[in-house]
């Protein structure tokens, strides 16, 4: 990131060991309070902060920022900066909270008590106190500072600073890092709010719907007409299973089954819009270079891959999915009343796909498709039946594949 000239640390100030250019620190704090313009990219902002801290006379060689996230699969996100490697981002799964490496380190105390922890790595007693300190000392670090980043809500996250300077951090340098801590907490809170909002929206309304909502499409009627292959699924023999199993047992089965069936949707360029009790509704958009045939092939391949993966598991002995595939243009956007909206898909092709799934259930068919998409399936189809659909004229051909 290019640092604005008027905010650049002084290049003419000669600093003694342990001394800090406080004018440069003040300029850095002012820039952070202003939102760290011009870029909103977290990696570039962190890199700029660390470079400017070093230029101000604080000999930081490693910085790390830790924040807990609201995400169904990711517990936390870590940004780590080093002088040689720049910024690296890691996502941490929930099992970290059961691991020794987490609990035998300073962060749990920093985030639970809101205290800073500073340890000189030249002190043998400090190295035995926390696991990470021994690891840092082995890499040549001499001093370590962990700080709480306190949000306006009272929630606490953490940042750490480490140096390889032979003298460690001076008290003046520690004070400078504490001055930076407060605006860093504000920047981190703003970033995490955006990250969590995007994650929650994608989790509950889908990636495409989440992006549209974040772009401001939050009013009734907001949306667009899109072309997509439409996939409806449900669990075969669900009524019998739900009548014989407890609620928690049935939820566990559904979650395990969705864990197997949903990844192929995303891997093949689709998106799950809704979970419908014992099944889900997904779309595979097309347009531009991606044709309807491409989207239909991707959707049918998704089903084949998901079924194959399910069959290889113990769960596959108990459950299997029924699916229906169609394609067309429909409205994709907001609908609702008063202050409660839903981001959903509405239109004739959606209705037709739903009728297809009902027909598959009535005829005890496993995998069905409409006449419009039959020629584009990933394997050869055949006509299984011709039946009337409520709301549609004439007999409708039902293909199986």
Q: For residue range 105-139, what is the model confidence (pLDDT) as tens digits? A: 999 999 999 999 999 999 988 888 999 999 999 99
Rounded CA-CA distance 98/66 in Å is: 17
Peptide bond between residue 18 and the one before it cis (omega within 30 degrees of 0): no
CATH 3.30.450.40 domain residues, the chain: 5-204
Enter the pTM of the model. 0.69
**pLDDT score of 4:** 45
Q: Name the DSSP letter for residue 219.
A: S
Two structure tokens written together for 101: 């490496």
CA-to-CA distance for 58 and 176, rounded, in angstroms?
Answer: 8
User: In 3D, which of 355, 319, 302 has the Cα closest to residue 236?
Assistant: 319
Cα–chain center distance at 45: 20
CA 52 to chain centre: 30
Task: List, by residue range, all CATH 3.30.70.1230 domains of the chain.
Answer: 219-400
Q: How confident is the model at residue 12 (pLDDT cuts 50, 70, 90)?
A: very low
Task: Name the strand (E) or helix (H) holding 225.
Answer: strand 223-235
Mean pLDDT of 209-237: 84
Q: pLDDT tens-digit profile of 174-203?
A: 999 999 999 999 999 999 998 988 888 877
Per the structure block, which two tokens stand in for 290? 């991606």
Rg (CA), the chain: 28
pLDDT (mean) for 88-98: 79
pLDDT in tens, 28-54: 999 999 999 998 899 999 999 999 999
Pick the CATH number of 219-400 from 1.10.3720.10, 3.10.20.30, 3.40.50.880, 3.30.70.1230: 3.30.70.1230
Q: Characterize 113-131 residue by residue with b for buried, 16 or more Cβ atoms within 10 angstroms of its Cβ, and e for exposed.
A: eeebbbbbbeeeebbeebb
CATH number attached to the domain at 5-204: 3.30.450.40
Among candidates 347, 312, 325, 201, which has minimal Cα distance to 265? 325
Quote the tokens at residue 87.
Answer: 């910024």
Contact 65, 79 (CB under 8 A): yes
Contact 369/324 with Cβ under 8 angstroms? yes
Residue 324, pLDDT score:
98
Distance, CA of 69 to CA of 94 (rounded, Å):
11
Angle ∠(206,210,216) on CA atoms, nearest 5: 155
CB 111 within 8 Å of CB 158:
yes
Q: pLDDT by residue (tens digit) across 236-262?
A: 989 889 999 999 999 999 999 999 999
pLDDT digits 0-9 by tens, 58-81:
999 999 999 999 887 788 999 999
Residue 262 to residue 265: CA distance in whole angstroms: 5
**Residues 108, 85 contacting (CB under 8 angstroms):** no
């Amino acid at each position: 990131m290019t640092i604005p000239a008027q905010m650049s640390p002084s290049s003419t100030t000669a600093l003694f060991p342990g001394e800090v250019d406080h004018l440069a620190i003040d300029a850095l704090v002012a820039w952070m309070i202003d939102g760290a313009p011009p870029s909103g990219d977290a990696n570039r902002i962190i890199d700029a902060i660390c470079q400017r801290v070093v230029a101000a006379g604080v000999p930081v060689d490693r910085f790390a920022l830790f924040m807990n996230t609201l995400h169904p699969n990711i517990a936390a996100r870590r940004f780590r900066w080093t002088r040689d490697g720049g910024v690296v981002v890691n996502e941490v799964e929930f099992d970290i909270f059961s691991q020794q490496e987490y609990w035998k380190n300073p962060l749990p105390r920093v985030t639970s008590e809101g205290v800073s922890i500073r340890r000189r790595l030249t002190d043998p007693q400090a190295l035995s106190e926390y696991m990470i300190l021994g690891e840092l000392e082995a890499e040549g670090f001499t001093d370590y500072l962990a700080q709480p980043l306190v949000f306006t809500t009272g929630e606490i996250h953490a940042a750490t600073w480490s140096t390889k300077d032979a003298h460690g951090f001076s008290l003046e340098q520690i004070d400078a890092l504490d001055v930076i801590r407060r605006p860093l907490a504000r920047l981190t809170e703003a970033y995490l709010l955006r990250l969590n909002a995007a994650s929650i929206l994608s989790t509950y309304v889908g990636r495409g719907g989440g992006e549209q909502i974040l772009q401001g499409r939050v009013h009734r009627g907001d949306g667009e007409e899109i072309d997509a292959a439409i996939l409806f699924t449900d669990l075969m023999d669900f009524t019998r299973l739900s009548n014989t199993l407890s609620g928690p047992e049935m939820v566990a089965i559904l979650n395990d089954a969705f864990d197997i069936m949903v990844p192929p949707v995303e891997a093949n360029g689709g998106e799950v819009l809704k979970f419908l009790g014992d099944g889900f509704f997904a779309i595979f958009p097309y347009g531009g270079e991606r044709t309807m045939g491409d989207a239909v092939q991707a959707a049918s391949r998704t089903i084949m891959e998901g079924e194959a993966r399910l069959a290889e598991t113990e769960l596959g002995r108990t459950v299997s999915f029924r699916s229906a595939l169609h394609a067309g243009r429909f409205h994709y956007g907001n609908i609702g009343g008063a202050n409660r909206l839903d981001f959903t898909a509405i239109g004739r092709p959606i209705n037709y796909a739903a009728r297809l799934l009902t027909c598959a259930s009535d005829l005890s068919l496993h995998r069905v498709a409409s006449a419009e998409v039959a020629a584009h399936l990933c394997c050869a189809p055949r006509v299984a039946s011709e039946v009337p659909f409520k709301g549609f004229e004439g007999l409708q051909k039902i293909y199986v594949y």
